[in-house]
């Protein structure tokens, strides 16, 4: 059975493997392991993403799914779980580093176009992840944002 859940210490090697397979650095994992969420099927970890709440916003990065499981909405499911947790915690803004753009648009994120805001939020990512490598200007990842107010519409009216 497939489930999305917060990562635990036992997931460390699986997350490192998934990140390495995708050509992403796993050096940040030890420090941020418990901020990751994973998609698990039985004993297999299929994908992961990191979501960190700071200053009334959630910062999402390292969205990665094993090649054999891509295009099955696993990455978007993990991100939605992170967004749901943030929304329930009262967070109103979400920022995400990702590629390609259609993934962000599917999740109703918009590209952060304003150069000053883009640089400010990238600095926040760098501070959170304690590295300039995560969101440097030369990074191939684009920066997107979403307003979480009303993002999850109630399914029923009472």
> What are the domain boundaries of the chain?
2-147
- In contact, 57 and 34? CB cutoff 8 Å: no
Q: What is the pTM of this model?
A: 0.89
Residue-wise pLDDT tens digits, 85-108 = 999 999 999 999 988 889 999 999
- Average pLDDT, stretch 106-122? 88
CA 56-58-61 angle, 5° bins: 155
Highest CATH level, class, for 2-147: alpha beta
Q: Identify the bridge partners of residue 143 per DSSP, sorted by sequence position.
A: 97
Q: In the numeric block, which tokens belong to residue 54?
A: 């700071």
Return the pLDDT at 134.
58
E strand or H helix that includes residue 74: helix 74-88
Higher pLDDT, 70 or 140: 70
- For 66-83, the pLDDT digits (tens) are 999 999 999 999 999 999
Q: What is the mean pLDDT of the chain?
A: 88
The CA-based angle 32-34-38, given to 5 degrees, is 105
- pLDDT value, residue 129: 77
Look at residues 17, 89, 114, 32 and name the one whose alpha carbon lies nearest to residue 122.
Answer: 114
3-state SS, residue 123 = helix
Per-residue pLDDT band at 27 (split at 50, 70, 90): confident
Distance, CA of 107 to CA of 110 (rounded, Å): 9
Q: What is the pLDDT of residue 139?
A: 56
């Amino acid at each position: 059975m497939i489930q999305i859940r917060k990562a635990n210490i036992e997931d460390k090697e699986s997350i490192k493997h998934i990140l390495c397979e995708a050509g992403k650095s796993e050096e940040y994992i030890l420090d941020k392991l418990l901020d990751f969420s994973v998609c698990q099927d039985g004993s297999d970890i299929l994908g992961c993403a990191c979501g960190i709440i700071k200053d009334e916003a959630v910062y999402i990065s390292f969205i990665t799914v094993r090649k054999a499981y891509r295009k099955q909405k696993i990455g978007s499911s993990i991100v939605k779980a992170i967004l749901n947790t943030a929304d329930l915690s009262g967070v109103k803004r979400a920022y995400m580093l990702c590629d390609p753009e259609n993934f962000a648009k599917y999740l109703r994120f918009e590209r952060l176009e304003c150069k000053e805001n883009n640089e400010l939020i990238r600095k926040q990512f760098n501070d959170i992840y304690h590295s300039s490598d995560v969101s440097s200007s030369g990074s191939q990842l684009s920066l997107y944002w979403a307003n979480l107010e009303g993002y999850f519409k109630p399914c029923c009216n009472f």
